[in-house]
Structure 1
Amino acid sequence: MFTLNQQSALFSAIAVGTFVGSVPLTYLISKFKFRNMFTFYGILSSIATLLTPWAAYTNFYLLVVLRISQGLAVAISFVSMAAICNAWSPLQSSGFFLSFLSCSYQLSMMFTMPIAGELCESRYGWPSVFYLQGTLSAIVLFIFYYFYRDQARQQSYVSQQEIAAIELGKIKAIQDKKSKQKVPYQAMCKDTAVWGVLSASSGSLISYYLFVLYGPIYLNKTLKMDIEKTGLANAIPYGLSIAAKLLAGPLSDRITCISEKTRIIILSCISQFGTAGCFIALKFLPTNYHSLVQASFTASTVFNGLIHVGVFKGNQLMSQHLASVIQSWNAIISSIVVLVIPIFVSVLAPDNTPQEWGRIFLTIAGYMFAVGTFYSFTAKVKPRPWTEEKELSTKTRAQAVSAK
């Protein structure tokens, strides 16, 4: 239906939408609140999804615009984990909360891939996939907007005891008409702890999108697995990743025999170094050892998913109410990664041979070892000084101190 250049443009449009949606997101959330912006971004994405089949047969440039609109949902999804966790999770349960929320990435893949395959082969054809996804998204957004509130105390279903548990130990940035907190961008950019989070996140995003975008191609073209086995092999890691995160999340909250910082560093090292080790195994394992290669392929996805209870939890603890700002920066990194990976793969593995993919695996493994080590030396879990800026009102300061 489309030329290779058009396919490339449609693919890149999602990343462009993520970038465009991420840049103003912090300002928009501060002005219009997270609940409203999440719903707005989601509605744009749902409408774009519903209109995609029509645009595909009508106008290519309109289709590109719709794909950019779909990318907005990716931007808000990064911020949503930090914003929702800060508003609704007790500090001592943040590991489980983040791991549970992050399962949406794997669940979406596990739902979409088999459903899309069935619908594409049915009499309804490929447009039905977009109609189903767009309709379901709209329904879920309605449910979200009806029940969700930006603060637990705004929801009538939450008791005072629950509110106290959620807010215990948190720095609350309460904004009123006389005093608003400005985002301390300069202080944040000078903090090595922030750069540690961003660098570790970039390594995780590179390894994640490498297999999201090229996992089936690697299994089919390089390992010579048939299409049916490729689909199953590409789906298994997501289910195991969910199980690993739901196990690691509560453990990261409840193992108190070691300090919070040590737990964060251990989990981040398991995630970063574990993924890198699997990539090294994929480089040196003979391609005819399908079982071992599949195990390494699966384990890399499982290890990578643990970043949510390591690096991202550390970000939540140190950044408090400003964690969503750093997550919006991670969304920008994500858009850049999605744009760069196709170029990276086409340069290093133009023929999809095992030797070429070996170079890719070693390069990414080296990068992940580097950023994982850097994060280990810069990781922080106590609220950073810039979380309590001078712009906070006296009332806010008193409430922050009393919460401690």
Structure 2
Amino acid sequence: MGDGSGGTHAHLVEDMVANGSANNGTPNGSVVDPAAPVGVAMRIMRQNAEDGGATDAKEKEDYESTAEEQEDEEDVDDEEERRDGLGILLEGKKHIQLQSGEVLEVGRDPLPPAGAKWGVRHAQALLLFLCTSTAYSLRVNLSVAIVAMVDNTASGNADFPVFSWPKKTQGYLLSSFFWGYLVMQIPASQLAQRFGARFFLAASMAGTGLFTLLLPVAAIYGDWPAVAVTRAASGLCQGFVFPSCYVLLGKWAPPLERGRFTAFVIGAQLLGPVVMLPVTGVLSSSAGGWPSVFYLSGALGLLVGILVFVFVADSPAKHRGISEVERDYIQRSIGVNTRTQLKRTRTPWRAILTCVPLWATMLSHAGQSWGFLTFITEVPTYMSSVLKFDIKKNGLLSALPYLTTWVMSFGFSWLSDFITERKMLTLTASRKIFNTIGMWGPGLTMLGVGYTSGSPALAVALLTVALGLKAGCYVGFQVNYVDLAPQFSGTSFSVGNFLANSCSTLAPITVGLIVKDQTSPEQWRLVFFVTCAMFFFGNLVFIVFGSADVQPWNGSRKASMYLSKDSIASQDLERIRAAAAT
């Protein structure tokens, strides 16, 4: 408010409404008499924009004085009603023309002012990018290293122990990470939402790194049960990573940049396999052997944890180096209100668990997670056993599809935000189209992979196309958690992630039950058919029942996304109503 860009107060939420204003030739708009209700509203808005600096100071003082007070739910609902009242006055109009001739636009999200087009929020996104990419590198390192751990001829290094682990045991080891990961999903989101995500994200990365460092010792002295416990502990720590990232995205990503931010941060999980899979192959055959894989990746996890603790902030309001212009732009865009955040501490579990669009998102997540886990845990074995790649080529070629996905995520996210900004499609339609590309595309491609045992190059090409198309999911169901409930995006994601990983944990075990002979193309073909079915079902549910509309249990109506409760609407609604009644 204090940045002088008071005109952005006119950039209200789409579908806001101007009752009682006659259309007078302005396209999709009306000429507003200053004495009419909307005219009164707009004059009050403009006056407050001019007095923004003083108002900001007073608001800040008011918030600080009430920050520790606990007010009941009834007060919160009253604030929401007062804020939404301005939306009722402006419903259905794209433009409002004042008698002065000035045309004010309604229905567009606030654009970043000149001083906030690049700033601290992008640095925060970069740090979250490091978290998700490193987290996935720690998650997938065992997928390639296990080839050397059970067969020293594959790595060409006989100086380190090898283990006689059958395929079924390997399946348990590859899924053991998720035993701990699942346990922490919902508790992690609640802790991050209530106490701040920064600390838990930093501790999560550092803890995962520490247990990764311990894995070689566990394998040598405790065999596979100790490895399973160590991996489960790593998963327990890493359970905080994605819920914390979603909490932070809900507070740092403005609506018009949300697709790019989410794809950049969540899509970075693909960079982990891109780097770690080939590096794992090289390290396994080096003088350091397979233990060096875990020493290097574990140290990286510790380093990222330290960086997060030092440089990440829980919200724009808590970042010491952010400019006032950028802070106000972010808070105004996403509808942040410090007092409301302090008051609304209860999670609406019943509403969350009965929300049909959220269930559509979660089931889509589950189908995608099954397919993706099959890629990251089983494809290296398929390439080694069926396509006959040695471990160095295995790592490099296994990484190629993930590199394609990572690159494609930038194109999809830019296109999604472009469509949203230009209003070429509804947000719901856009999410469903990109999700279809990201799920049915890979599903159909996987059918072909099962018939490529005689053509390794074709198999790699199909896997690359499959994971490249998967990038559509990042601006499909992945960002949909934030669309549905920005205030509770961490919680809703954690519920969905719990469901998805509960489902996908069965993928490596299922492969172990299907594949009795690792060199059999026919058995692997059945694995790919099952994967295709999971992709298909997940997206079908999203198409039928999915939505990108903000849900009522978010704590506000649609207006809350772009019009904060401490804005001019909340301050002046009583005066607007009084004027409208006369």
Q: Is the 8 A contact 1:91 1:168 kept in 2?
A: no
Q: 1:94 to 1:178 in 2, by over 3 A?
A: closer
Q: Is the 8 A contact 2:369 2:501 kept in 1?
A: no
CA distance in 2: counterparts of 1:177 and 1:343, whole angstroms? 42
TM (norm. structure 2) is 0.63
Amino acid corresponding to residue 350 of structure 2 in structure 1? Q
**Alignment equivalent of 2:512, drawn from 346, 365, 371:** 346
Q: 1:349 to 1:117 in 2, by over 3 A?
A: closer
- Say if 2:431 is the partner of 1:264: yes
Larger Rg: 2
SS in 1 for 2:240: helix
Q: Is the 8 A contact 1:95 1:253 kept in 2?
A: yes
Amino acid corresponding to residue 184 of structure 1 in structure 2? P
Amino acid corresponding to residue 19 of structure 1 in structure 2? L
Amino acid corresponding to residue 316 of structure 1 in structure 2? V
Q: Which runs of 5+ in 1 are unaligned?
A: 391-395
**Alignment equivalent of 2:361, drawn from 181, 197, 204:** 197
Structure-1 residue corresponding to 2:207: 44
**Alignment equivalent of 1:21, drawn from 159, 184, 190:** 184
Q: 1:356 to 1:15 in 2, by over 3 A?
A: same
> After the TM superposition, which of the residue ranges 215-224 and 89-98 deviates more from structure 2?
215-224
**Alignment equivalent of 1:362, drawn from 483, 507, 529:** 529
**TM-superposed deviation, 1:226:** 4.7
> After the TM superposition, which of the residue ranges 136-145 and 126-135 deviates more from structure 2?
126-135
Q: 1:185 to 1:211 in 2, by over 3 A?
A: same
Amino acid corresponding to residue 524 of structure 2 in structure 1? W
Q: Is the 8 A contact 1:50 1:131 kept in 2?
A: yes
> After the TM superposition, which of the residue ranges 31-40 and 120-129 deviates more from structure 2?
120-129
Amino acid corresponding to residue 45 of structure 1 in structure 2? T
Structure-2 residue corresponding to 1:275: 442
Structure-2 residue corresponding to 1:310: 476
**Alignment equivalent of 2:266, drawn from 102, 116, 130:** 102
Q: Is the 8 A contact 1:18 1:331 kept in 2?
A: no
**TM-superposed deviation, 1:158:** 1.3
Amino acid corresponding to residue 50 of structure 1 in structure 2? L
> After the TM superposition, which of the residue ranges 56-65 and 373-382 deviates more from structure 2?
56-65
Structure-2 residue corresponding to 1:298: 464
Q: Is the 8 A contact 2:171 2:509 kept in 1?
A: no
**TM-superposed deviation, 1:218:** 1.8
SS in 1 for 2:469: helix
**Alignment equivalent of 1:35, drawn from 184, 198, 203:** 198
SS in 2 for 1:223: coil
Structure-2 residue corresponding to 1:220: 384
Q: Is the 8 A contact 2:185 2:495 kept in 1?
A: yes
> After the TM superposition, which of the residue ranges 300-309 and 53-62 deviates more from structure 2?
53-62
- Say if 2:547 is the partner of 1:383: no
Alignment of 1:142-153 (within 5 A): 142-153=306-317
**TM-superposed deviation, 1:375:** 0.4
Deviation digits for residues 81-118 of structure 1 (CA, Å, limit 9, x no counterpart): 31221121111111110111123312211222233333
**TM-superposed deviation, 1:184:** 0.9
Greater relative contact order (Cα < 8 A, sep 6+): 1
Structure-2 residue corresponding to 1:54: 217
Q: Which runs of 5+ in 2 are unaligned?
A: 1-161, 558-562, 571-582
Structure-2 residue corresponding to 1:393: none
Structure-2 residue corresponding to 1:372: 539
Alignment of 1:323-334 (within 5 A): 323-334=489-500
Number of aligned residues: 397
In terms of fraction of residues, the more helix-rich structure is: 1
Identity of aligned residues (%): 22
Q: Is the 8 A contact 2:358 2:484 kept in 1?
A: no
Q: 1:68 to 1:151 in 2, by over 3 A?
A: same
CA distance in 2: counterparts of 1:400 and 1:218, whole angstroms? 57
Q: 1:122 to 1:347 in 2, by over 3 A?
A: closer
CA distance in 2: counterparts of 1:253 and 1:316, whole angstroms? 14
CA distance in 1: counterparts of 2:481 and 2:526, whole angstroms? 32
Q: 1:222 to 1:65 in 2, by over 3 A?
A: closer
SS in 2 for 1:398: coil
> After the TM superposition, which of the residue ranges 228-237 and 194-203 deviates more from structure 2?
228-237
Q: 1:210 to 1:401 in 2, by over 3 A?
A: farther
CA distance in 2: counterparts of 1:105 and 1:400, whole angstroms? 37
Q: Is the 8 A contact 2:368 2:534 kept in 1?
A: no
Amino acid corresponding to residue 485 of structure 2 in structure 1? S
